[in-house]
Structure 1
């Protein structure tokens, strides 16, 4: 019995020592690691600093506004921006609280983000007309923006975009289920403690996202390791998601606005036909809608260079033909 107690005591000391070592490594990471540097600049909008990247010369063509989905940042649009900026002005940004943008202290309404983006564009010296490009949840955000600023939007592009009725028609509960929410909360704590950062510093993992350049991959890895804010923003997106979809569904018809809809062919499960049907409905929002299918999945439709070459060709053609 005494031997067993001694063994348990030593096991307890080993576990305690291991925990202390982890906490120290996390503390060292928080104290001595440098904060990831944003690739764009921070612009103050009503006391909240938003991250924006504006590239390409301003000319007679409309300015492209790139709106990312709930879980992505400006880097996800790397290949689209790299190509289009040679022909026109291209703007991409992070919504409040996402990635390099500060969280707002304001109360959030479904129209808040559209109004905040409008102010951001004005403060950065951008001028309409605009073509709005949205991937995933970026599509509904863009529909709200266009509803508020009709005269400034001359075209819209939906990239495997979310649909206002998707959760009901796909029989799903939202962006994240209860287990995923718990995981995100845990990851936020681990990141704030520096444990994710110290682990990645030791293990040096490879972070690959469908052929995005290495600097884009590493920037994402560093930011998700440095702070729990990224994960808390996922949780916030989960809370406001239904309100955004509801407001997007209440937006007016797109009439004869030029619209391009790009749909990823590689969908999952029995919901594929339902998703394709909803994508067709997005095209039918306008009498000038066009629908294209891409050999890609929901992510690689914009992160794989070969796919963006198809998309960029059609976007440029749209821009050149807008009166």
Structure 2
């Protein structure tokens, strides 16, 4: 009896997953017109990467997304729309993100940095750059500034995870694999508000932009690239942690820790300890969750302009 019940249950689960996958495939076809690159597709390591740019300033802000952000362009739009009047804006969507292709490329920090640099160069966007990383991409920005200091004029950190933050971080890899399976089967379509990103909830996206953002979400959630980045994060953090603090101006915007996995004091202390090692560094604490750029975008834009016009000038 128990075996029969179990078999029936397994059969029902299989049918639900099969139905969800079929519905997901149908919806992807319907959303195809919304999944059209807004920038330039360039070839990097035999794969297509998407580079978006706008604005006409003399200096270039390169926005770098945190791990797992389906659509980096829309994630940063509320902030960079307030900066494009003075700066050139560039968003490189890493492989497996946004409109870039999903690949089997290694996710060690040197490969990621090299691919970003090549994508920018192929899109005609020349150094030096002002790097604007969020969360885990802070590691990439710090590594970049150390390896190629002539290319990095300053770093504007949007609640970045500095190397020390990963020392005691435990990562549930099976959970990430499960999330990837749910995304591929379209189960995420049945989860209320799953596609409603922080940029959609607190930012300034139009209804059309939200529609495109959803189309990207259902194609770029828990991709193999994102999963492999998570698997490499401890190694990448250790590699960056063993390097000296880059000798470039650094402005950090720190959240209250909500959404990071750490409490407010621990998160704030980790970033304070890091910025104290910078020769020219400043930290601004914000009483907001991790996606600071989708909440305090006006303040961040104002403070960024002031920092770059004065402390990072020249």
Q: Same fold (TM over 0.5)?
A: yes
Secondary structure of the residue aligned to 2:98 is coil
How many angstroms apart in 2 are the aligned matches of 1:155 and 1:86?
19
1:85–1:30 Cα change, 3 Å: closer
In structure 2, runs of 5+ residues without a counterpart are none
Note if 1:221 corresponds to 2:214. Answer: yes
* Correspondent of 2:176 among 181, 206, 230: 181
How many angstroms apart in 2 are the aligned matches of 1:313 and 1:44?
35
Secondary structure of the residue aligned to 1:126 is coil
Note if 1:116 corresponds to 2:115. Answer: yes
What does residue 93 of structure 2 align with? 94
1:216–1:298 Cα change, 3 Å: farther
Secondary structure of the residue aligned to 1:274 is helix
Compute the displacement of 1:246 (Å). 1.6
Compute the displacement of 1:224 (Å). 3.0
* Correspondent of 2:66 among 64, 69, 72: 69
In structure 1, runs of 5+ residues without a counterpart are none
**Alignment: residue pair count:** 298
- Cα offsets for 1:93-121 (capped at 9, x unmatched): 21112232113454443211111111111
What is the RMSD of the two structures over their aligned residues, measured on CA atoms? 3.2
What does residue 130 of structure 2 align with? 131
How many angstroms apart in 1 are the aligned matches of 2:22 and 2:263?
47
Which aligned pairs between 1:1-323 and structure 2 lie closer than 5 A? 24-29=22-27, 33-34=31-32, 36-59=35-58, 62-72=59-69, 73-168=72-167, 171-174=168-171, 177-178=172-173, 180-191=175-186, 207=196, 209=198, 210-212=201-203, 213=205, 214-225=207-218, 227=219, 230-255=222-247, 257-265=248-256, 267=258, 271-299=263-291, 301-304=292-295, 307-321=296-310, 322-323=313-314
Between structure 1 and structure 2, the one with the greater Rg is 1
How many angstroms apart in 2 are the aligned matches of 1:19 and 1:187?
9
How many angstroms apart in 2 are the aligned matches of 1:16 and 1:31?
23
Compute the displacement of 1:69 (Å). 0.4
| TM-score, length of structure 1 as denominator length | 0.80
How many angstroms apart in 2 are the aligned matches of 1:252 and 1:133?
20
How many angstroms apart in 2 are the aligned matches of 1:47 and 1:296?
40
